[in-house]
Structure 1
Amino acid sequence: MTTTRRAQGARTPYAALLRGINVGGKRVPMAELRTLLTGLGHQDVRTHLQSGNAVFTSDRHDEDALAAELAEALERHFGFPVDCLVRDHAYLAAVAEACPFPAAELEGRQLHATFFSGPVTPERFATLDQQAYLPEEFRLGDRVLYLYAPDGVGRSDLAAALSRPGLVRPLVATSRNWNTVTRLVEMTRD
């Protein structure tokens, strides 16, 4: 769990990352997501794209509690479970800053970040022979996996291998391309 210490009453900017929506029948209209977040008492609510990215401010500072509350509200409202992660601006900015790949030289579709609900260690991925997937590569950070896929994630054998349930569970994981990561950093900075 990550919490940010702020002055009493200060509002923290967050990004909510919803996993697996608006594909495979799990429809979550962004207008309804904004209404739901506002109904939970959050302010400055905005969404980005149609793939489950929202930003908001809150005077509450527990990311895990915010994510659990949002997941519960989504299931109540839509009738199906939605895994959620909530990350503050400082964390997102640190993820962007710590990128081990030359993000400025790559297209957004070539670089992805998979966010996890908890720490990930190299041991979790020890069964993968990284050399077999070159030139694709991945590196680990603070609750994030950076994936370089030069032909895009849709054609990435490494992305498919990394998404196997045995490597991810019991953690919640959700991926975003680098364009979305940098946009969420910008949106939570405002």
Structure 2
Amino acid sequence: MATRYAALLRGINVGGHKKVPMAELREVLSELGHTDVATHLQSGNAVFSTDTDDGEQALAADLERAIAGRFGFAVDCLVRDGAYLRAIVDDCPFPAAELEGRQLHVTYFSAPVTPARFAAVDAAEFAPEAFRLGDRALYLYAPDGLGRSRLADVLARPALLKGTVATSRNWNTVRRLAELTDLTNPTG
């Protein structure tokens, strides 16, 4: 039976850099043998099904190689299965139903991150903004949106992200990717 995945590409189609048209991204995924390929928005979100049991890291590495071959530049990719994406939604430590999608964000990491990595961040200094760690993810509550978040700037510092690939999505996209990868959801 096929498993449904989401590919999260980091840093494409931002400010005219690393242009990856979504139609071509769908072609790349199809050429890799994946089926039911679709994209969501223009910011590097794709969903697909595959029968392979290679695992998320191998799928991401294959996609990174294919993108580099097609477009001539490197793009970091994370691949997560539908069950993981659903768990991210279900495990949200903030009252997501009470917030606007622009107020809540998830940063996905290529590997688990520990509280020790973020111990130097004085969360009280940024209140009411707040963050919580999840499974290979960081939830960020930014009541005025990401663009005005001082905490988001601190959390994105290279020293905190060293040794891991990280890419963020707003809550609307987080929920939509969970829906699109849910094999039991007829609208997904």
* TM-score for both structures, normalised by structure 2: 0.95
Equivalent residue, structure 2, for 1:17:
8
For 1:137 and 1:43, how far apart are their aligned partners in 2?
38
Shift of 1:72: 0.7
Shift of 1:60: 1.6
CA distance in 2, matches of 1:93, 1:158: 26
Q: What do you get for the CA RMSD once the two structures are aligned? A: 0.6
Among candidates 27, 38, 48, match of residue 30 of structure 2: 38
Amino acid at match of 1:11: A
Moved over 6 A (4+): none
Structure 1 segment 174-185 matched on structure 2, within 5 A = 174-185=167-178
Classify the secondary structure of the residue corresponding to 1:140.
strand
**Helix, strand or coil at the partner of 1:160:** helix
Percent identical among aligned pairs is 67
**Matched residues in 1 for 2:52 and 2:134: separation?**
25
Structure 1 unaligned regions, length at least 5: 1-9
Q: CA deviation at 1:123?
A: 0.2
Question: CA–CA distance in 1 between the matches of 2:147 and 2:69?
Answer: 32
| Structure 1 position 188, deviation (Å) | 0.7
CA deviation string 1:6-61 (max 9, x = no partner): xxxx1000000000000141100000000000000000000000000000001123
Equivalent pairs counted in the alignment come to 181
Tell me what 1:104 maps to: 97
Deviation at residue 169 of structure 1 after TM alignment: 1.5
Using structure 1 for the length normalisation, give the TM-score.
0.94
**Is residue 2:51 matched to residue 1:59?**
yes
Which residue does 1:5 correspond to in 2? Answer: none
1:165 Cα offset (Å): 0.6
